[in-house]
Chains A and B, each alone.
Chain A
Amino acid sequence: MTQEYNVKGMVVKIKALRKNAEALKEISGGIPAVDKNADRILANVRMLEIDISDAAEILGK
């Protein structure tokens, strides 16, 4: 069933989400509203990695 989905494409976008959220924290200047919202985004990115990216490695996608 996994072949019906663009897993490879999703993995690329998930990586980009992580990169962007981490980059946002780097330029936040320590603004709590930015850092803490970025942390929450990164927690959700981790769920996407667990759900999709980690499995893609095993599936060879």
Chain B
Amino acid sequence: MKNGEYWNPVLETMPREKLLQQQLKKFKEIFTWAYENSKFYHKLYSDAGIEPGDIKKFDDIKKVPKIEKSMMRSVQGPGKQNFPYGDILSVPLEQVTDYRQTSGTTGQPVYQADTWQDWEFSTEAYCYAMWAQGYRPKDRVFVPFGYNIFIAFWAYHYAGEKLGCEVIPGGVLNTEARILKMQELKATAMGATPTYVLGMAETARGMGIDPIKDLYIRKITVAGEPGGSIPATRKRMEDAWGAKVYDQVGSTEIGHWGWECRQQAGLHVNEGLFLVEIEDVNTGETIEEPGRKGKMVVTTFNRMAQPCIRFDVKDIIQWNARQCECGRTYRLLDGGLMGRADDITKVKGVLLSPMAIEEVVRDIPQLGNEYQVVVTKKGDIDDITLKVELLPEYQKDQAAIKAKLTDQLRLTTNLGYNIEFHPYESLPRSQAKSRRFQDQRPHH
């Protein structure tokens, strides 16, 4: 692999044993910083009887208490110190330059403080991703997203600038206007959610514009939803745009910790800047072996205003056994984010991951891109309804498609479904994170 493939070969090709030493050193630094500068972390660690001097070897990291989103929420908001960030803040309030918040889809939002240096760090982390995906200064990058209080695509914009690309903010333009602007300016790359990437292609075709022939997009970075690592969804996006699609993962509290390189062999964890641990969902045991699913616990090494240390994200991931041909020594994840620990739910006594349903739906070409899953209870029995869109030209084949869908779902998820066909383009579409799974059972 040529040296020019790496944003920073010093970190990205560091020998594994050195990388682990680096991670331990970095963990100690951020742990010490938080212990000394954040009342929230100081109390958490003091109550657990652990202090910086106790972290001597890699295994000692496991003794450090994990944090959860609910713990951050509990110290933030009105009436709390350092409004709105609370005692988790580790710098004087006047050093904060950037406000972001989580979407709040699982409760009160978490307020995220960044100093300018922290924001440079978020941008830097995204630079690793975009360079690995082949973004170069000659690229004209379009961002078809309404920037706002959420983190989404801000760092993509700033990192694009830092790489030397020409960045076009698609902001408040509507989808049609964005498509026309991309065509006019011959944009070569864009970043969006998988749902929106698919939706834009549909809109473009409706305008008489073929994304492959009439637009110039050849690289797409997707984030915010797991679709980039779902083979059937990725294929739909790549086929619709004639472009390479790369997955990228991150969050408001953590930063941008993982991405695919041009090999598209799985998500690289940026182990120079983050520590990702995988734990067994039930026992908490650390999982090192590939192919065994667990929940992610992540530490950000260099975000100082609001440190993120051993954050139990509840995303389900698994290690990949493969060494990527790109030459990076960073480990790969297999299958990207495979769902959330709190999304994977028991239906009719069977564990069900919504992503498994997406893989089946998107693998049937006669179906549209959108779907919804609704779980209800009829008496004592769970009931699942899958709503899909049938492409207009296949109406006559509905019975055969229904039979195929039922078989594939049974095979993949071991469950039976009520299949509902809805008119094409009638199910809700979203530019941001889509919530396609609705559990309407009592106590869910």
Chain B residues with Cβ under 8 A from A57's Cβ?
25
Nearest A residue to B127 via CB reads: A47
Q: Taking A50-B302, A51-B8, A51-B124 as contacts, is the C-beta distance between A39 and B14 under 8 angstroms?
A: no
Q: Are B22 and A46 in contact (CB under 8 A)?
A: no
Q: Are A47 and B3 in contact (CB under 8 A)?
A: no
Chain A residues with Cβ under 8 A from B115's Cβ?
43
Q: Are B22 and A54 in contact (CB under 8 A)?
A: yes
Measured CA separation A5–B3 after assembly (Å): 10
Q: Are B116 and A43 in contact (CB under 8 A)?
A: yes
Q: Which residues of chain A from 1 to 29 have any CB-CB distance to chain B below 8 Å in the complex?
A: 1-2, 4-5, 7
Quick check: is B10 within 8 A (CB to CB) of the other chain?
yes
Quick check: is B120 within 8 A (CB to CB) of the other chain?
yes
| Chain B min CB distance to A22 (Å) | 14
Q: Taking A43-B116, A58-B22 as contacts, is the C-beta distance between A2 and B9 under 8 angstroms?
A: yes
Q: Are A52 and B10 in contact (CB under 8 A)?
A: yes
Q: Are A55 and B121 in contact (CB under 8 A)?
A: no
Measured CA separation A59–B14 after assembly (Å): 8
Q: Taking A1-B13, A4-B3 as contacts, is the C-beta distance between A47 and B120 under 8 angstroms?
A: yes
Partner of A58, one of B25, B121, B124: B25
Quick check: is B264 within 8 A (CB to CB) of the other chain?
no
Chain A residues with Cβ under 8 A from B11's Cβ?
51, 55
Partner of A7, one of B3, B10, B21: B10
Partner of B3, one of A1, A51, A54: A1
Q: Are A51 and B10 in contact (CB under 8 A)?
A: yes
Measured CA separation A51–B26 after assembly (Å): 12
Q: Are A44 and B22 in contact (CB under 8 A)?
A: no
A-B contact count (CB 8 A): 56
Q: Are B116 and A55 in contact (CB under 8 A)?
A: no
Quick check: is B18 within 8 A (CB to CB) of the other chain?
yes
Chain B residues with Cβ under 8 A from A54's Cβ?
22, 25-26
Chain A residues with Cβ under 8 A from B116's Cβ?
39-40, 43
Measured CA separation A47–B25 after assembly (Å): 17
Contact residues of B: prevailing secondary structure: helix
Quick check: is B117 within 8 A (CB to CB) of the other chain?
yes
Chain A residues with Cβ under 8 A from B26's Cβ?
54
Nearest B residue to A44 via CB reads: B120
Chain B residues with Cβ under 8 A from A58's Cβ?
14, 18, 21-22, 25
Measured CA separation A55–B301 after assembly (Å): 13
Q: Are B117 and A43 in contact (CB under 8 A)?
A: yes
| Chain B min CB distance to A34 (Å) | 16
| Chain B min CB distance to A30 (Å) | 15
Q: Mark B11-47, 1 if CB is under 8 A from A, else 0.
A: 1011000100110011000000000000000000000
Q: Are A2 and B10 in contact (CB under 8 A)?
A: yes
Chain A residues with Cβ under 8 A from B361's Cβ?
none
Chain A residues with Cβ under 8 A from B327's Cβ?
1
Nearest A residue to B118 via CB reads: A43
Measured CA separation A44–B327 after assembly (Å): 27
Interface centre among A4, A7, A47 (most CB of B within 10 A): A47
Chain B residues with Cβ under 8 A from A2's Cβ?
9-10, 13-14
Q: Taking A1-B3, A40-B116, A58-B18 as contacts, is the C-beta distance between A47 and B10 under 8 angstroms?
A: no
Measured CA separation A43–B8 after assembly (Å): 18
Measured CA separation A54–B22 after assembly (Å): 8
| Chain B min CB distance to A41 (Å) | 11
Chain A residues with Cβ under 8 A from B124's Cβ?
47, 50-51
Measured CA separation A31–B334 after assembly (Å): 52
| Chain A min CB distance to B150 (Å) | 23
Q: Are A5 and B117 in contact (CB under 8 A)?
A: no
Partner of A47, one of B9, B18, B22, B121: B121
Measured CA separation A47–B123 after assembly (Å): 10
Chain B residues with Cβ under 8 A from A39's Cβ?
116
Measured CA separation A39–B8 after assembly (Å): 23
A-B contact sample (11 more), CB < 8 A, given A1-B327, A58-B25 = A39-B116, A46-B120, A47-B124, A50-B121, A50-B302, A51-B8, A54-B25, A55-B14, A55-B22, A55-B272, A59-B10
Q: Could you list 27 A-B pairs, sorted by A, with CB under 8 Å?
A: A2-B9, A2-B13, A5-B9, A5-B10, A40-B116, A42-B117, A43-B115, A43-B116, A46-B121, A46-B302, A47-B121, A47-B124, A50-B121, A50-B124, A50-B273, A50-B302, A51-B124, A54-B22, A54-B25, A54-B26, A55-B11, A55-B14, A57-B25, A58-B14, A58-B21, A58-B22, A59-B10
Interface residues in chain A, defined as those with a beta carbon under 8 Å from any beta carbon in chain B: 1-2, 4-5, 7, 39-40, 42-44, 46-47, 50-52, 54-59
Closest CB pairs A-B (n = 8) = A43-B117, A1-B13, A43-B120, A58-B22, A51-B8, A47-B124, A58-B21, A43-B116
